[in-house]
Every structure is written in structure tokens, then in C-alpha cells.
Structure 1
Amino acid sequence: MTDVENALSVAERGELRRSLAATKDPYLEAIPKVELHVHIEGIISADLKWKFSQRNGQAIINPRTGQPFSSLDELRDSHDTLKPRTGNRMNNNEETLSFFEAYYGGFEVLKTQQDYYDLAMDYYEHAAAMNVRYAEIFFDPQGHTRCGTSWETMMEGFRDAQRKAEQDLNVKSAWIMCFIRDESPDSAMEHYNAALKYRDMIVGVGLDSNEADRPPSLFNEVFVRARNDGFHLTSHCDVGKTYPLEHIHQVASSIAGTGADRIDHGLNAAGDADLMKLIKDKDLGMTTCPWSYIRHQPLDEVFERIRTLFDAGIKIAIGSDDPAFMEDTWVSENLLVAKRYCGFTNQEIQKLAENAIKVSWAAEDVKRQMLQELYSLDPGR
């Protein structure tokens, strides 16, 4: 039986989501949160797509039919990226293609600076409601420029929202520019050079999208350049595929000469004692997004691996990844589901929150303030 056949079904995920929505956890709600793994494009819900397309007089084309979506309800239905055409399961290849088909379709509806501002504010408002104090937000500039969007339109929209969120919502943030693996290293370098104008906003560079046959080492030149220019480095290492262990090792030890500062996903490391020791010895942070994994991996296996990494002393940080495509699960739901299935105590939740703060790339005074707030709360038992 394949991993995806052991993963939660559509109905089971829906039931779990409803159960989490009914959960009240005062301590988890109260703690100051740091989010280090969320894609701004991954919050482009069907409702936001419809809002932007209607405002801009633009049709949204269904890639499976070639025809415009006729209603918001039809567009919403298309966002269930793990809903198979027949039966109740998808294999991993079908899931990957379905997800990216919907994900990259969201780039096409963003046309104006107001669109980018509204998109970022949608995230910041969700973050503030969950007591997120600081976030490092991924964005994929190549996906926007190939749709004809200028850097100024994109970044000034983000900048205006970033300022308003800090002033009005008490949410500080920075941005991580991810290179899309499907694009060439030359394209990555071209976009890196264009991004230097916005280095006051951008704290790090990363690597995302479909990982098959696209190892981190392929982009080493731009990673070296970014490290020399003072940026932090990270990279996605997918879960449940055949290649991630070697990719995780590259990220941990060799890209840019000495390895990255953090690893995104990388859950497969839990099955390799030597790799875990390397990550622990180098004190690398790891971002982990439980809800992303239980869509195509066995639930027990996912949380056993998260627990293994935590118990090994690796600084893992829980994030939400792509809420619009993950049953509307944000960092709070991901923390709740991790607490439930890893059996984390409140003291361990405090440790998770502390780790996220420490492996963030926030200014030291921002970290101290968040740690003081965290330690002021009694975790109880």
C-alpha cells in the first residue's frame, strides 16, 4: 500500500479540521507566535482570486477545461487540490501536478499594487488574530515577473502592507525571496540582482517548487552570492519523495560552501541518525508544516518524525505553508494538530515557540521582547 493510500482521505481531513476548530487551548492561543514558513501566494484563496479578477475585469481560466470559471463556487471547488477525479485518493505525482496547477494560477490575478497590498494584508490580519508577533514570508518573484508584473508593483504593495501591519497590528515581518526550481539558475541570478533594491525588506533567499531533478546544488552560484552579500539562506526539501535525503544533506552541509542557515520541510531527516546529528551539531533550524504532510503521508508517521526531530534537540518551528490549499489551516491549526498527535505538553509547546523565536532572522531586540512575553506566561502542566 502506498503512502498516499495511508494518508487521510478528503472526508477524514475535513473531520479533523472541524475538530481543531472546536478545540480551545488557552495557552497555545496566548503565546506570542513566530511563523517562518508561509508562502504569500499560498494564501491566495478562491475568494481572493475572485475578488482580484472581478476588480481587474479579468476572467480566470480553468486549466482543465480551458474555459473561464463561471462562478465563485466553481472556483472554490477547484481549490481542493487533493480531490481526485475518480475514487478517493490521488498518487503523489497527481497531487504535485494538481497543487502546482492551482498554486501558480493565483499569480495571474495579481495585477496592481493594490492587489499585492490586499494580499499581504490578508495574511497580516490572519496573523494578528492568531497572536503572531513576527513572520518571515516567502514570495516567488519569478512567478510574478513572468506574468508581466513589475518589481515595483509587487514590492511596493508588500512594503505598504508590511508597514501598516507593524504600526496597526503589532505584527513585524521580513521577506524571503524563493527561487523557483523549475526556472534556470540564470533566471535566479537575474532576479537576485533585481531584488537588491529591496534588501531592506528581504532578509533571506530560499528555493522552492517541484524538487524532482532540481537539487539545491544546481543553484549554488546564487547562494554563494547571497551569502557574500549578507543574506540568510534556506531551501525546501520535500517530504515523502525519493530524493530528499541527499538534498537535505546538501542544504545542511555544502550549499554556499558551508550549508544553509535553515532547512524547510526536511522531515525525512528523522530516519537518518547521522543527518540528524549533523543538523543538531550545526544548530540549524527546521521549518515544519504538519498539515501539508498529512495530505499525502500516513498521519502516525508524520507526527512520529516531528516528535523524533524535537526529541533529538533540533530546533523545529511550526508553520502553515499554503493555507488556501490546505483546508484553511493556519499556524494555529498546525500547532494544535502537532500538539495533539505528538503529545506535546504545554512546556514543550513553550520550547517550540522559543525555538521558533531563536532560529528566526529577526533583530535581537525583537527576539528578546518576544522571549520575555513568552516566559511571562505560565505553561502549567
Structure 2
Amino acid sequence: MNGLEVSPFITSLPKVELHKAPSPPPCAGSSRSATASPSPYATYDDLLESYNVLYNHRKELHGDTGAPTFLEAYFAGTQVLREEDFYELGMAYLEKARDMNVRYAEPFFDLQAYLPRGIPAATVLNGYMRAQREGAQKFGVRSNWILCFIRDRPVEEGIAAYEAARPWAAGITGGHGLFHAVGLASNEYDRPPMLFEKAFQMAKKDGLHVTMHCDVDQKDAADHIHEAIFTVLGGRGTERIDHGLNALDRPELLQGLAERGIPLTLCPHAYHRRQATEVLFPKLRKLWDLEGIKWCVNSDDPTYMHNVWIDGAMEKVYRYCNMSKADMVRLSRNAVEISWADEDLKKLLLQELERFGRENC
């Protein structure tokens, strides 16, 4: 982690995570060959070895290096998941979250990596829902999940996945309550947010929240942020933006975020793979110092990103942005405030952070 160790202060800081995919870890499917499902890897050992690649390149922008991109590795990992894996994947993350003092989380998930392989939606959704409920009881980590549309797949396929998932939504009458929001995932190259306007409108009508990825330094990144702020949902704009660091490229984007109260879920380590310390962290500090811009720290996909989790990402911000302990408590407060936890839970989390700040700052 660039020579840093997670400090006792960051370790003990109560946390909320709003940007994390339940990435298939190397242990997923370990008892079977990777050839049991469609996969670019001939054996499970080959799949395991792929995790040792540093996934920080983009073929569409920088050419093909011969190594898999992060997204290619991620979706290759999904191809070996079966039955109990979804429950185990959810529980593994929630247990890890507990160990890092994460009190509440909003993990991303999708169906489109599984439905084409004949895995029923219920298998995926019931597995994650079981983990959601048991994780709260066993680990004390509450969670509300976010269903993502796979950005580089056809929009109608994503809508069909959403319709399959609707009985597990929190916003509809009789819904099981697994997920409370929709978002976007996967490669956004030439796939602007407005392509999914119909899907967003459907989810909003069902009473769900809407967030969307606007990846860092991707082609047309600032244009995608502009759409997210000013155009989607009939001009009302999204409720949150995942990433969105390129808002710094245009003053009107920063103004729009502030005026519309749209927060950012940032993943500093993910960007640190591509940007030097002296380039990245002054940007984060600038965002911190701007009035009206609210953001929080998250881990993104640590399984594929050097095993740096939310605690490591927060340590980097703490050190490289010259933050005070009070600043870091404020960052955790931001995460609570911009979360979609219920108001009673938010109140409890904010009270815990207030006590922590009094005792440690």
C-alpha cells in the first residue's frame, strides 16, 4: 500500500461504505475447475494467477497490452459462481467489513453476468438476501444493496434483469427489501448515462434511489458527469455519482454538484493506480476544501486492486491529503449522511461518530 500501514486511528474509526462490489475472490469456486463455466482461463489455477496482474490499463484508450483489464478479470471471475457462492460472497464481504469497523454498507451487484448462463435470478438474489440478513445478525453490519445495469450490454437486457429482480426490491409493495437503488457498472466507454434513462425512470417510479458511475479519466468523463447532474431523470439529475472526480475539469460541474446537492462516492486507491500521489491527492484535497461538495471514501473492488480496502483507502487520504483526525471523522459523517440508510440507523451512526470524535480528536 505504497509503504503505508493502516494506523490505529483509522482502524478504530467507525465507517460506512457506499461503493463496493462483492467481487469474486480467489477462493470462489475453489473446489472446481474454471472450465466448469465459460471462462478465458483453462483451469482454476490460471484464474487464480490472473489476480496477480495490476489491472490499471484500458485497452480502448491505451491499446492492448496482452494482459486482462480489471473488468475482464472481474467478469471472468463471475463465470465460476454457482448456487451457494452468492451467499458466501456476501457473507465474506460483510465479515471483512465488520473487521474494518464498517457499520453499514451499500454493495453493488448485478444479474446480467449470470442470467445468460442459465442461473436463475432467484439463486443470485436469495443468496445475497440471506447474506444481508445473516450478516446483520452475525457481524452487526447492516446493508442495503444496489442493482447495477451492465453498461456495455444492451439496455433492454438490463431492463429485463431489473424486471426479474423487482420482487426483491425495497421500494415496491411486498418487495423483499434486498436492494433499494439502481446504478451502472462495467465499461462506460462510449456508453453515456442517458442510454439508460428508461431504466432509471422505471426504478424511480418503483420508489428506488438512483446512482451512477462516472469513471475517472475515461473518454468523455466530464460529459458523462454533466448528463448525470443535469439531464438524467427528465432533468432532475441523479441522487449520487460514483467516482465523478473529473467534475474538477469544469467549473459548471462543481457548481451543479453543489447546487443540486449531489455527493460523490470516491475510491482513492482505484485512482492511485493510475495517478501519481502528487497529482491525485491535491485533487481530493481541493474537493474537500470546496464549499458544498460532499464526498466519502470507499474501496471499489479491492480483490482486484492490490487488496486495499476501505481502511487502506482512508489511510491514504488521511496521510496524503494532510487531513486531521477531525477531518476523517467528518468524512465518515459524510458517508452516513449521503447513505440511504433509514433515519433511525443514521441517527445511531452519527451518535457513535460524535462519541468517537470527542474521545479521539
Instruction: Calculate the TM-score normalised by the size of structure 1.
Output: 0.86
CA distance in structure 2 between the aligned counterparts of 1:250 and 1:110, rounded to whole angstroms:
34
Tell whether 2:271 aligns with 1:293: yes
Cα offsets for 1:125-144 (capped at 9, x unmatched): 10000111100010021112
Deviation at 1:160, TM superposition (A): 1.1
Equivalent AA in structure 2 for residue 118 of structure 1: E
Equivalent AA in structure 2 for residue 48 of structure 1: A
> Residue 82 of structure 1 aligns to a residue in which SS?
coil
Residue 107 of structure 1 corresponds to 78
Residue 181 of structure 1 corresponds to 151
Equivalent AA in structure 2 for residue 192 of structure 1: Y
CA distance in structure 2 between the aligned counterparts of 1:191 and 1:223, rounded to whole angstroms:
13
> Residue 145 of structure 2 aligns to a residue in which SS?
strand
Pairing of 1:191-230 with structure 2 (within 5 A): 191-199=161-169, 200-230=177-207
Pairing of 1:1-381 with structure 2 (within 5 A): 16=2, 19-20=3-4, 22-26=5-9, 28-40=10-22, 42=23, 44-51=24-31, 53=32, 59=36, 63=40, 67-69=42-44, 71=45, 74-82=46-54, 92-94=62-64, 98-112=69-83, 114-199=84-169, 200-257=177-234, 258-313=236-291, 314-377=293-356, 378=358, 380-381=360-361
> Residue 149 of structure 2 aligns to a residue in which SS?
strand
CA gap of 1:379–1:211, structure 2 versus 1, over 3 A, is farther
Alpha carbons 1:280, 1:312 under 8 Å: kept: no
Deviates more, 1:181-190 or 1:357-366: 181-190
CA distance in structure 2 between the aligned counterparts of 1:192 and 1:76, rounded to whole angstroms:
31
Cα offsets for 1:219-266 (capped at 9, x unmatched): 111111111221111111111123110100111121111111000011
CA distance in structure 1 between the aligned counterparts of 2:69 and 2:232, rounded to whole angstroms:
30
> Residue 156 of structure 1 aligns to a residue in which SS?
helix
**Higher RCO, 1 vs 2 (CA within 8 Å, ≥6 residues apart):** 1
Alpha carbons 2:54, 2:306 under 8 Å: kept: no
Alpha carbons 1:59, 1:68 under 8 Å: kept: no
Q: State percent identity of aligned pairs.
A: 36
Alpha carbons 1:350, 1:379 under 8 Å: kept: no
Equivalent AA in structure 1 for residue 351 of structure 2: Q
Equivalent AA in structure 1 for residue 285 of structure 2: R
Cα offsets for 1:5-26 (capped at 9, x unmatched): xxxxxxxx6xx1xx33x34232
Alpha carbons 2:47, 2:77 under 8 Å: kept: no
CA distance in structure 1 between the aligned counterparts of 2:51 and 2:20, rounded to whole angstroms:
18
Cα offsets for 1:165-220 (capped at 9, x unmatched): 11111100011000011111111211121111001111100011111110001111
Cα offsets for 1:357-380 (capped at 9, x unmatched): 000000000000000000001265
Deviation at 1:49, TM superposition (A): 4.1
Equivalent AA in structure 2 for residue 32 of structure 1: P
Equivalent AA in structure 2 for residue 77 of structure 1: E
CA distance in structure 2 between the aligned counterparts of 1:208 and 1:156, rounded to whole angstroms:
21
> Residue 144 of structure 2 aligns to a residue in which SS?
strand
CA distance in structure 2 between the aligned counterparts of 1:91 and 1:50, rounded to whole angstroms:
34
Q: CA RMSD in A?
A: 2.3
CA gap of 1:83–1:356, structure 2 versus 1, over 3 A, is closer
Equivalent AA in structure 2 for residue 256 of structure 1: L
CA distance in structure 1 between the aligned counterparts of 2:189 and 2:249, rounded to whole angstroms:
20
CA distance in structure 2 between the aligned counterparts of 1:308 and 1:110, rounded to whole angstroms:
41
Residue 3 of structure 1 corresponds to none
Q: Which runs of 5+ in 2 are unaligned?
A: 170-176
Residue 4 of structure 1 corresponds to none
Instruction: Calculate the TM-score normalised by the size of structure 2.
Output: 0.90
Structure 1 stretches (4+) deviating beyond 3 angstroms? 57-62, 90-97
Q: How many corresponding residue pairs? A: 348
